A = this chain, B = another copy of it.
Amino acid sequence: MNQHPDIPLDEWLSGEGPDSDIVYCTRVRLARNIEGYSFSPMQEPPEATALLRTIQQALQPLAKNRDLQWIDLEQEDSFSKQTLVERHLISRELQMSDRPRAVVVDEKGRESLMINEEDHLRLQFFRAGMQLQETWRAADRLDDEIADLLPYAWSSRLGFMTSCPTNTGTGMRISVMLHLPALVITKEIEKATTAIAEMNMTVRGLFGEGSHAVGDFFQVSNQRTLGESEDQIIENLGRAVESLVHWERRQREEFRKSPLYIEDQANRAYGVLERARILSSEEAINLLSRLRLGRLLDLIEEPSLADLNRIFLMTQPGHLQTRSGRELHPGERDRLRAEWVRAILSGGAEPQPE
């Protein structure tokens, strides 16, 4: 395992994959704990350090077939950690925690093992578009391999033991990130999220727990982990997501019939992105969202979806700071973000921070 956190642009952020007009990506997260250690939130630092060493040692064989990076988060500066959050490779909780902790990241940046988050191990798997089965199978495979290397805390009655009881059982959270601008514009989104909640699913914003929806992006995930098998969870989530996808597509078809409003919104968004000198992260995402809808409905010819995805990622605070090699004040970030956007949209050179 090498030590350098220079993760490539993940293929699951390519904007491709099944149903990619609406489904951005699929994520499976498994919560696992190792027998013989206290749950992470109750550890004293020496126990946490010992656990980290045990896991690092035990996982060595995994690196044989994979190009893995072990990233000790106590060694990382704040904007490197922020970048990992923006790639969804670590959670905000792991970013902010003061425990000894680490993350293992695969070479494509689409799988990560968070170590000493709320649980000893949190395995995360990302795939582009709607890929519930494929993502789950990848997770299941690695989970089996790790189970051969480390003794999981498991009860025959409850299943996998977790730090928080809401995860006990399968320890699985499967979520799908959706782009639902048409439902937001038509205000159907409230009805839609109520319907999803009634199917025992949770709807959240872009960065998980506690985050509000920005730029019309939503995460739908299972609420229950106990009393249902992984296959049942996947089936139920699949049904919920399919209904949202269907609903969003129907609204988009309506817009296709009278496209003026979306054409206007997409063009305005493009005009501002092309020219603004100051751009907040939230505004950028909102503009990208409306521009993306216009592109998908062929109401505007430029820019490419690939450029939109690149802007989406590159203009987040951690990425900007990592590229700059130093911490930036919010004001500097908003300026550099606008420069990046203009550079990408004009096909020009990357901006250099002062």
A contact set with B: CB distance below 8 Å: 260-261, 263-264, 267-268, 270-278, 335, 338
Contacts and interface: CB of A to CB of B under 8 A. Distances in A.
A51 to B, nearest CB: 49
A271 B275 contact: yes
Given A268-B271, A271-B271, A271-B273, 9 more contacts: A260-B277, A260-B278, A260-B335, A263-B277, A264-B277, A264-B278, A268-B275, A271-B272, A272-B272
Nearest to A299: B277
Given A260-B335, A335-B260, A274 B277 contact: no
A87 to B, nearest CB: 29
A343 to B, nearest CB: 15
A344 to B, nearest CB: 15
A274 B272 CA distance: 10
B264 A268 contact: no
A82 to B, nearest CB: 24
Contacts of A276: 264, 267-268, 271
Contacts of A271: 268, 270-276
Nearest to A342: B267
Q: Which 9 A-B pairs have the closest CB atoms?
A: A271-B271, A271-B275, A264-B277, A267-B275, A264-B278, A263-B277, A271-B272, A268-B272, A268-B276
A278 B262 CA distance: 10
Contacts of A264: 276-278, 338
A273 B272 CA distance: 10
Q: Name which of A273, A276, A277 has the most chain B CB atoms within 10 A of its CB.
A: A277
A170 to B, nearest CB: 49
Contacts of A272: 268, 271-272
Nearest to A278: B264
Q: Name which of A260, A271, A273 has the most chain B CB atoms within 10 A of its CB.
A: A271
A269 to B, nearest CB: 9
Nearest to A260: B277
A46 B268 CA distance: 54
Q: Name which of A261, A275, A278 has the most chain B CB atoms within 10 A of its CB.
A: A275
15 contacts: A260-B277, A260-B335, A263-B277, A264-B276, A264-B277, A264-B278, A264-B338, A267-B275, A267-B276, A268-B272, A270-B275, A271-B271, A271-B272, A271-B274, A271-B276
Contact of A261 (B260, B270, B278, B338): B278
A270 B275 CA distance: 8
A299 to B, nearest CB: 9
A263 B342 CA distance: 14
A235 to B, nearest CB: 43
Contacts of A275: 267-268, 270-271
A263 B338 CA distance: 12
A279 to B, nearest CB: 9
A313 B138 CA distance: 63
